[in-house]
Structure 1
């Protein structure tokens, strides 16, 4: 998952979605992919305290958790973009997994190499977008490379794309990122919304969409300044207008425009902080996958 997000391109056979993104491996699951819900909650809380930009949750619960639901809601309110895998229960799935089903989370389905929805990918209300998730080659914690399939492989593609968008426009909020992803995804023919959401993501289009929206918002601020200055009545004292416009709200009709004047992002390095998995801390709680 980490390699899918941020693997470097220097002479290697693969390149991550957002190379040079700063990653924080916050562990919650064991080597079998199992753990406690309380571990996941503690990990998300760690991400809130440490001001992460994006949380990738390539995991799913077997049942509902009010505690995790409330923690995810709090992270979203803090401006953290949360991405989660929809689940691997296939066409017979009655619903997508938690936490992907939470409205604050960007839920990701998986596609295969033919750009069709993977047979294993869960169907259900709440899927936002789809991303590659079949036979994905990435870096391995054991060294070298490994291949795997699942919606857990699809989610990091979306998390990496979110990191690219934040590098371009650091003040984007989670719902703006979701909106940009939805607007720039490509619908897959013959597939219902419950299988693909808005369709297959396109990282390039998402970033271009973000740049154009930011530019449009900046132009709206600059074009409004002369009219605003003309409307000011003459004062007895000499006034010196500020050379710097104040941060503006998002321009109307531009879903992903920055809510504040965006800081200049580095042209060489992605500045988003992305947490891959929540932290592990053994507690006496029932195990849930």
Structure 2
């Protein structure tokens, strides 16, 4: 498909597509459609979406929502022109709430917070305000006795008024940073900066894709933070994945609940099952993983999640109180608050190093080693604070071709390797589940031979792909492959001689094992 023809076809459709003429019977019963345009999509693509009733949801992702009744013709034309990065129905994600009997507001509950000793928080003095914990949830009841007048509690949008919402978000916020104010509970990090984005509809337990995306983008646009996602859905959601990737690129750490389906088939929960997300399982007071905590190869770490006293809001009356709750929704903010605590006292770390320290320092529980129930083990805050700094893995996420495009909004604008020098070295890490590949853009002058070698503490593969490849994983199209690495005694190496005009290529480092692998990549031309 040539670009001039694509533009011409789109311009014709701008005139013919409109929301009013395409709306059909039963439209309201179908979900809206989310459409993300490719960076290279012609400007006419936006006009088609507008004529079809589309609304821009997230500028950074060029993400639009289309009414169900007008979606098919517009989407068909855009796909035919190669303008669509992805499209999917607007989905609803849930936040699990399972209230138990409430406790009176004047009854201090610190004695019931068994999780404090389980993670070692009772041995430590928390720091003052530092790296924020950003909640994308159902909003926080700012008038709850636990939060009324609390410093550094920031509402990033309108928090849905009681008694309609705020039930789940208020509980999660109290686990993060309820202060020692003489009532109720004390959170992991009492002086934490807490930022809240209300993404809820209805009674505050249903959160739409577009609002979650808006929340992740909004909090990540304000600098690095720990983004807490005590929510999930049973299937992949490309819009949320794109927002998570952007947040990671901007320097934030995303922490998500593994899910509560451990006794109902362990269906994978997203965004917990995405790379670059710190995924949290839940444990019980006896130290074991809760049977309802979802198990998967994406679980990174476990934290207390059963019988967790939290601040509560009655969704019918708006009354406030405290009650014990169960769920990975409450294990997740324990990890998020611990991550913010660690990052505050060690500000030179990046988000990937914070996540890696939490994994490395966890106390092994259950089956020896990393396992699907508890990941690397139970959160150990004192050990995390004392763990040496791991190797930095720069420019994440760089898992695919579209993430190494210089100048792309929110990404790293990293110059192509070898553009300024004939040789370079890059150190990094890869992990089959958390960081499935590292992709680097490299310049190969005409008539030069490029050579690359990788050495790691575990086995890796090395591949060279065309710079024009739209995607390099998980399966690279054969016509996009320029050279395949061969195994050496210490790693892998490859060579490629460019006989055409100067061209960009993509070097791909992929792990061959399920352990986190540190590597050193060397590239040169002659």
Q: Same fold (TM over 0.5)?
A: yes
Distance (whole Å) between structure 1 residues aligned to residue 265 and residue 255 of structure 2: 20
Q: Residue in 2 aligned with 1:110? A: 282
CA contact (8 A) 1:91 1:123 kept: no
> In the alignment, does 2:372 pair up with 1:201?
no
Cα distance per residue 1:1-24 (max 9 Å; x no partner): 111111112434532111110111
Cα distance per residue 1:255-284 (max 9 Å; x no partner): xxxxxxxxxxxxxxxxxxxxxxxxxxxxxx
> In the alignment, does 2:190 pair up with 1:19?
yes
Structure-to-structure mapping, 1:182-261, within 5 angstroms: 182-190=359-367, 193-209=371-387, 213=389
CA contact (8 A) 1:96 1:125 kept: no
Q: Pick from 212, 217, 222 the counterpart of residue 50 of structure 1.
A: 222
Distance (whole Å) between structure 2 residues aligned to residue 132 and residue 49 of structure 1: 30
Q: Residue in 2 aligned with 1:262? A: none
Q: Residue in 1 aligned with 2:321? A: 144
Distance (whole Å) between structure 2 residues aligned to residue 95 and residue 17 of structure 1: 29
Distance (whole Å) between structure 1 residues aligned to residue 281 and residue 327 of structure 2: 9
Q: Pick from 147, 152, 162 the counterpart of residue 339 of structure 2.
A: 162
TM-score by length of 1: 0.69
Deviation at 1:127, TM superposition (A): 0.4
Deviation at 1:91, TM superposition (A): 4.5
Deviation at 1:54, TM superposition (A): 0.9
Q: Residue in 2 aligned with 1:76? A: 248
TM-score by length of 2: 0.39
Distance 1:24 1:53, change over 3 A: same
Deviation at 1:92, TM superposition (A): 4.7
What SS does the aligned partner of 1:196 have?
A: coil
Deviation at 1:51, TM superposition (A): 2.0
> What is the aligned length?
216
Distance (whole Å) between structure 1 residues aligned to residue 261 and residue 382 of structure 2: 30
Distance (whole Å) between structure 1 residues aligned to residue 283 and residue 249 of structure 2: 30
Cα distance per residue 1:210-257 (max 9 Å; x no partner): xx549xxxxxxxxxxxxxxxxxxxxxxxxxxxxxxxxxxxxx9xxxxx
CA contact (8 A) 1:93 1:123 kept: no
Structure number with greater Rg is 2
Structure 2 unaligned regions, length at least 5: 1-171, 314-318, 391-427, 429-526
Q: Which has the higher strand share?
A: 2
Cα distance per residue 1:97-151 (max 9 Å; x no partner): 1001111110000001111010110011110000000011022244331221110
The answer to which structure, 1 or 2, has the higher relative contact order (CA under 8 A, 6+ apart) is: 1
Quick check: 183-192 or 45-54, which moved more? Answer: 183-192
Distance (whole Å) between structure 2 residues aligned to residue 64 and residue 195 of structure 1: 21
Deviation at 1:175, TM superposition (A): 1.2
What SS does the aligned partner of 1:106 have?
A: strand
Q: Pick from 175, 179, 198 the counterpart of residue 8 of structure 1.
A: 179
CA contact (8 A) 1:41 1:71 kept: yes
Cα distance per residue 1:148-192 (max 9 Å; x no partner): 111001000000001101111123212101111011111113377
What SS does the aligned partner of 1:182 have?
A: helix
Structure 1 unaligned regions, length at least 5: 215-251, 253-289
Deviation at 1:32, TM superposition (A): 4.5
Q: Residue in 1 aligned with 2:301? A: 129
CA contact (8 A) 2:220 2:247 kept: yes
Q: Residue in 1 aligned with 2:416? A: none
